[in-house]
A and B are shown apart, each in its own frame.
Chain A
Amino acid sequence: MPVNTTQDDPERARRFREAALPHLDDVYTLARYLLRDASDAEDAVQECYLRALKHFDTYRGPAMKPWLFAILRNVCRAEYARRATSPSTGLDDTPEAAEQTPMWHEEQQTPEAEMLRERDASAIRRLVDALAEPFRETFVLREINNLSYREIAEAVGAPVGTVMSRLARARAMLRSAWLAEQEQVK
């Protein structure tokens, strides 16, 4: 792979590796949930690390993870754009459409009497994957990548208030779907 000479400074390379590589599993996890495809996720993560290296001089800390996530999101957005032009993708999953639906409209179908029961990892992953963007993203950053609200805001470039409302909405949708599945299993 060709490497730009200004980036070929061994000291800089060492610092980048030490700062960024420990987060590889985290970045890969987010990519899996954002793209819902293992091989697209691998490509996105590789691209993310190359871009991060390129922009490493602009990194000012303190938290490396939200910074890497912000780069990954940009990589994924290019992938979304590519998918949007391919005819196989439905239009219901665009971030804009999802955010404009009314806030609590999922609540109507919630069976209130039932308590939420535990599920295994694959069942929960399926439920999370079914969430619309950008709620899935906020939810994954919070519950799976364990970011604070402020770090999520930093990574997605939105105010903390937006993060809070997306998270509330994501959990409300997930709860409805979770309880609905529970009903069917019974």
Chain B
Amino acid sequence: MTCDEAKILLHALIDGELDAGHAREVEAHIASCAACAAEANDYRRMREAIAKADLRYTAPASLRQRIDAALPKPAPAAAANVTPLASRRSVLRGFALGSAVSALAATLLVAVVVRNDDQQMIESEIVSSHLRSLQPGHLIDVVSTDQHTVKPWFNGKLDVSPPVIDLTAQGFTLIGGRLDYVDARAIGAVVYKRRAHVINLFVAQTSSMAHKPAKTETIQGFNVRRWSDRGLNFWAVSDIGADELNEFGEKFEAAAQANKEG
């Protein structure tokens, strides 16, 4: 690794945004480069000083009041309670209570939003399945690096036949398959490894035959890349970086395309 690369990546290291492989590389560079080590050290001290000083501002009560007045009232009862002549003290007390109540309600709201949105619910279930799979003894039902062993294993267990593609040559090792339950249905999981990281590729049937381009998001710290192709929904879940997960998805899609044409 060059100093120029390290000078960018060491920030991601300090911020805990680097995957284990890159983190090791940056740490190795810092260990061998006095200039980068001094910089990293200063940045760490800077972060600590900033965290200690607390540089946040608090919104003035008058602003909170202005916004509160400008927003539509949540319910008629609440509107009746707001009197423009309320003393400053009671206004402040109202806000303190309001924000505590709101914070609690916001937590509930998230649950409601998630429950109402199928896609999000499934994705959070998928992440839970990924987490479960990482517990000892849960990762794989059929252990094999051979796609011709893993693929037939799914026969009769699922209403779909998940494409099992060996991507070892592309840097993602097929290590097996597993049966999982998501959204109260059996779902296939094809398991890959990248270095020490597990990638679970979940495959489920969908009514739509359309190709839906990939979308990557982060859920509970895991990257989830979702796409659809020829009647199947795919979710690749892993703790590897989004760029690597995208690389995985692209290589998988390219190989699936080649299989179809070949």
Q: Is B209 an interface residue (CB 8 A)?
A: no
In whole Å, how far is B242's beta carbon from the nearest beta carbon of chain A? 7
Q: Is A94 an interface residue (CB 8 A)?
A: no
Q: Is B88 an interface residue (CB 8 A)?
A: no
In whole Å, how far is B48's beta carbon from the nearest beta carbon of chain A? 8
Interface 9-residue window, one of B36-44, B147-155, B193-201, B254-262:
B36-44
Which residues, 144 to 186 on A, are CB-close (under 8 Å) to B? 144, 148-150, 160, 164-165, 167-168, 171-172, 174-175, 178-179
Residue in B17, B52, B57 whose beta carbon sits within 8 Å of that of A28 in the complex: B57
In angstroms, Cα B16 to Cα A52, docked, is 31
In angstroms, Cα B58 to Cα A42, docked, is 11
Residue in B11, B39, B50 whose beta carbon sits within 8 Å of that of A164 in the complex: B11
Pair B99/A21 contact, Cβ less than 8 Å: yes
In angstroms, Cα B102 to Cα A121, docked, is 29
Taken residue by residue from 40 to 74, chain B's Cβ proximity to chain A (1 for < 8 Å, 0 otherwise) reads as: 01110111111011111111101110110111111
Residues of A within 8 A of B28 (CB): none
Interface 9-residue window, one of A6-14, A69-77, A80-88:
A6-14
Q: Is A96 an interface residue (CB 8 A)?
A: no
- Work out how many contacts link A and B, with CB atoms closer than 8 A: 147
Which residues, 171 to 223 on B, are CB-close (under 8 Å) to A? 218-219
Residue in A10, A12, A116, A142 whose beta carbon sits within 8 Å of that of B42 in the complex: A116
Taken residue by residue from 244 to 260, chain B's Cβ proximity to chain A (1 for < 8 Å, 0 otherwise) reads as: 00000000000000000
**SS class of chain B's interface: helix, strand, loop or mixed?**
helix
Taken residue by residue from 121 to 143, chain A's Cβ proximity to chain B (1 for < 8 Å, 0 otherwise) reads as: 10011001000000000000011
Q: Closest A-chain residue to B39, C-beta based?
A: A175
Residues of B within 8 A of A168 (CB): 7-8, 11
**SS class of chain A's interface: helix, strand, loop or mixed?**
helix
Residues of A within 8 A of B242 (CB): 150, 160
Residue in A10, A118, A120 whose beta carbon sits within 8 Å of that of B74 in the complex: A10
Pair A25/B53 contact, Cβ less than 8 Å: no
Pair A18/B8 contact, Cβ less than 8 Å: no
Q: Is A91 an interface residue (CB 8 A)?
A: no
Residue in A28, A128, A165 whose beta carbon sits within 8 Å of that of B59 in the complex: A28
Residues of A within 8 A of B72 (CB): 3, 7-10, 12-13, 53
Pair A45/B67 contact, Cβ less than 8 Å: yes
Q: Is B33 an interface residue (CB 8 A)?
A: no
Q: Is B105 an interface residue (CB 8 A)?
A: yes
Pair A53/B58 contact, Cβ less than 8 Å: no
Q: Is A49 an interface residue (CB 8 A)?
A: yes
Pair B113/A116 contact, Cβ less than 8 Å: no
Pair A178/B46 contact, Cβ less than 8 Å: yes
Pair B53/A121 contact, Cβ less than 8 Å: yes
In angstroms, Cα B103 to Cα A42, docked, is 22
Given A3-B72, A10-B73, A150-B218, answer yes or no on A116-B46 (Cβ-Cβ < 8 Å). yes
| Residues on A facing B (Cβ under 8 Å) | 1, 3, 7-10, 12-19, 21-22, 24-29, 32, 42, 45-46, 49-50, 53, 61-62, 64, 104, 112, 115-121, 124-125, 128, 142-144, 148-150, 160, 164-165, 167-168, 171-172, 174-175, 178-179
Q: Given A45-B59, A148-B218, 19 other A-B contacts at CB below 8 A?
A: A10-B74, A14-B74, A17-B74, A21-B98, A22-B102, A22-B106, A25-B59, A28-B57, A50-B70, A50-B71, A61-B110, A62-B120, A64-B106, A115-B41, A149-B15, A150-B242, A164-B11, A164-B12, A172-B39
A-B pairs with beta carbons under 8 Å apart, 30 shown: A10-B72, A10-B73, A10-B75, A13-B73, A17-B74, A19-B106, A21-B98, A21-B99, A22-B106, A25-B58, A28-B58, A28-B63, A29-B56, A45-B63, A46-B66, A46-B67, A46-B70, A53-B72, A115-B42, A118-B45, A118-B48, A124-B55, A144-B55, A149-B17, A164-B11, A164-B12, A168-B11, A171-B11, A171-B43, A178-B46
